Amino acid sequence: MDDLQKGRMLVFLQFGLIIILAMYPDSTNVDSRLNIFGTVVIAIGLVLLFAGFRGLGKSLNANPVPNQDGVLVTTGIYSVVRHPIYLGLLIITLGLVVSSGVWGQALPWLALAILLTYKMRWEEVLLMAKYKGYADYAKRVPAIIPGLKPRNKK
């Protein structure tokens, strides 16, 4: 399996888990505070997601394999976290779990978090191979949690 095929498989699994998380039972019996809190969390995630989309411009690609003509983006939201799209997806889907009131949804959310962590780490390897300045960028900017000091990469 080549990198593009592996990337497509990861994207397919990612969207499958997101669909599972979006298809929760009727939440009309859920405490309204949970619904409100979940909706606020979803909104925060959407802001991060769209800031990540906008920041990447022509480098935007669901597949973790970098675009042939892509460029390394280190400004805007990418000066705060290296993977705002993954962070946005995790926050949005966490909001879906909370607002659904179906705590069994935490299992597919955890599976999504594990999948996105794997996808992010593999993408980092590909980005380091493609962009000369990526290693220095990774030393300065945390991967996914703003304010968290990045791990030293060898």
The two structure tokens encoding residue 110: 């955890």
Q: Which residue in this structure is represented by tokens 């992010």?
A: 120
> Above pLDDT 90, what percent of the chain?
74
Q: Which residues of 49-63 are buried (b: 16+ CB within 10 A; e: fewer)?
A: bebbeebbeeeeeeb
- Quick one: pLDDT band at residue 27, thresholds 50, 70, 90? low
> Above pLDDT 70, what percent of the chain?
94
Q: Within 10 A of 38 (CB to CB), how many other CB atoms are there?
A: 20
pTM (2 decimals)?
A: 0.90
Helix (H) or strand (E) holding 147, with range, is none
The tens digit of pLDDT for each residue in 41-98 reads 999 999 999 999 999 998 999 999 999 899 999 999 999 999 999 999 999 999 999 9
pLDDT for 45 equals 98
Q: How far are the Cα atoms of 42, 85, 105, 129 from residue 90, in angstroms, in the given order?
A: 9, 9, 13, 26
The two structure tokens encoding residue 141: 């900017």
Better-predicted residue by pLDDT, 151 or 72 = 72
- List the one residue out of 11, 3, 25, 40 whose CA is nearest residue 112: 11
